[in-house]
Amino acid sequence: MTYFFETYGCQMNKAESAQVKNLLAGRGWTESPSPETADLAVINTCSVRKTAETRVFGRLGWYESLKAVREGRGGAKTAAFPLAAERGTGRPLTVALMGCMAERLGDSLKKDFPVLDYVVGNFQKGDFAAIAARAEGASPAGELPAGEDLDCFTSHTPGEASAYVPVMRGCDNFCAYCIVPYLRGREVSRPPGDILSELDALSADGVREITLLGQNVNSYRWDGLDFPGLAALTAAHLERTDSPIRWVRFLSSHPRDFSPALAEAIAAAPRLCRHIHLPLQHGSDRILRAMNRGYTLGDYMEKVRLIRECLPDASLSTDILVGFPGETEDDVERTIAALGEARFEGAYTYYYNPREGTAAASMPGQIPEALKKERLSRVIEASLAVARREMAKRVGSGALVLVEGPARDSPSEVRARTAQDGRVVFEAPSGLAGTFVKVQLTALTGNTFRGRVIP
């Protein structure tokens, strides 16, 4: 039996898709190279932006056509389904949707899209055991047993050098634009003993890099152990066990919770990567207040100063949300100025989409779509210019990189990442994937470094 996954949205979704894949692999299932040849297609969805949901609706139409082609009905266009061997085979296709759209829209999706056999909410991922059994013909159709979550499954794909380690989930912050607290629930942390056991298993698998994951990772708390404590514990455990995991990253941080203790923990542990992703979201205090972010631009810049002081070689990246209700030209200019002041080497920029059920959706002063797009393009241009200026300062220096695989456009080159999360491309055999290599950063093209292997 084979599965095919389409995963949208954040790293947590990627980690959870991997957990479900591991459940299926445990039953002997393998990954299909394309959806056309799969027995089970799983779409793991994101509700943070409307565009992500719209794309999934389009994909559901496509799966409906695939089912029709398999069943020998309907006239799906040949170009869309190149695998003629699948036509009219009658081979069953099970389609399941999971993730935040499943949590938000529930079974109403099944009414609108009959192609969907299952809609699996964020806390019922254990349902996939029963879904797989049915697809195998090992259990009869009918109501699924009450589902549980899948916390006992690792998100690591065997053989891969990098792994996500979920350490907490949920969020208590209720930013005015964000639907996450409604769909992922309140903050729940994972016991440190479980996390360390998973680290041991990943070390035994030869993993080189992990990312400690949580919707609000630095709110981690377990019996008096906070996130700086967990980061220090993780680094010390890897050191003591002489683990091949040399790099530890973490995502996502809330600026309010980024503490001096965390900066000190990172400074004291070489395995903790010098890359801090700290979502600013906006450069105007008025908008930050309306967003309910819990800090001012001045507070944020204090954190930036702290990071620069404790971790002088760290790179800083951010998220920026433009077009929030009530935003003025002056607010946009403040945001553009903040990009330069914080000296970000990377920024994920997006424009505001109202999400039903959030406070911002009913706020006055909604910005027209065309203006949001125009503002976004200005912010993107400014953020790229700042990133290039900051990244250029690293050209000429040496860096340890973890090789990810062959470069996209050149078979004689590989792509890799620095501890600061910079992308590097250099001449090397592709067999180096998953290993650490020392390179000199020789040039910058767009936002990718070129490098040269050094002894």
* Kind and range of the H or E run holding 234: helix 227-240
Please report whether residue 131 would count as binding ligand SF4 according to CB under 6 A.
no
Cα 401 to Cα 404, 437, 449: the distances in Å are: 9, 5, 11
Q: HSE-up of 290 (CA within 13 Å, CB side)?
A: 21
Residue from 20, 98, 135, 175 binding ligand SF4 (CB under 6 A): 175
User: What is the closest distance, in whole angstroms, from the C-beta atom of residue 113 to ligand SF4 in the complex?
Assistant: 27
Please report whether residue 173 would count as binding ligand SF4 according to CB under 6 A.
yes
For strand 247-251 and strand 225-226, is the pairing parallel, antiparallel, or unpaired? unpaired
- Of 57 and 174, which has the nearer Cβ to ligand SF4? 174
- Of 95 and 175, which has the nearer Cβ to ligand SF4? 175
User: What is the closest distance, in whole angstroms, from the C-beta atom of residue 219 to ligand SF4 in the complex?
Assistant: 9
- Of 347 and 433, which has the nearer Cβ to ligand SF4? 347
Please report whether residue 215 would count as binding ligand SF4 according to CB under 6 A.
yes
Contact region with ligand SF4 (CB under 6 A), list: 100-108, 150-158, 166-174, 236-244: 166-174
Residue from 13, 47, 216, 418 binding ligand SF4 (CB under 6 A): 216
For residues 314 and 325, give the distance between their C-alpha atoms in angstroms, rounded to a whole number.
Answer: 33
Please report whether residue 11 would count as binding ligand SF4 according to CB under 6 A.
no
Please report whether residue 360 would count as binding ligand SF4 according to CB under 6 A.
no
187: which 2 tokens? 């903050």
Please report whether residue 418 would count as binding ligand SF4 according to CB under 6 A.
no
16: which 2 tokens? 């959870």
Contact region with ligand SF4 (CB under 6 A), list: 7-15, 131-139, 168-176, 269-277: 168-176
DSSP 275: E
User: What is the closest distance, in whole angstroms, from the C-beta atom of residue 39 to ligand SF4 in the complex?
Assistant: 34
3-state DSSP helix/strand/coil percent for the chain, to nearest 5?
A: 40, 20, 40
Contact region with ligand SF4 (CB under 6 A), list: 7-15, 118-126, 172-180, 443-451: 172-180
Asked if 336 and 378 count as a contact pair (C-beta separation under 8 A), the reply is yes
Residue from 174, 201, 260, 357 binding ligand SF4 (CB under 6 A): 174
User: What is the closest distance, in whole angstroms, from the C-beta atom of residue 47 to ligand SF4 in the complex?
Assistant: 11
DSSP per-residue codes, 392-415:
HTTTT-EEEEEEEEE-SS-TTEEE
Asked if 414 and 426 count as a contact pair (C-beta separation under 8 A), the reply is yes
For residues 55 and 45, give the distance between their C-alpha atoms in angstroms, rounded to a whole number.
Answer: 10
For residues 80 and 121, give the distance between their C-alpha atoms in angstroms, rounded to a whole number.
Answer: 30
Positions in the binding site for ligand SF4 (CB under 6 A) = 171, 173-175, 178, 180-181, 215-216, 254
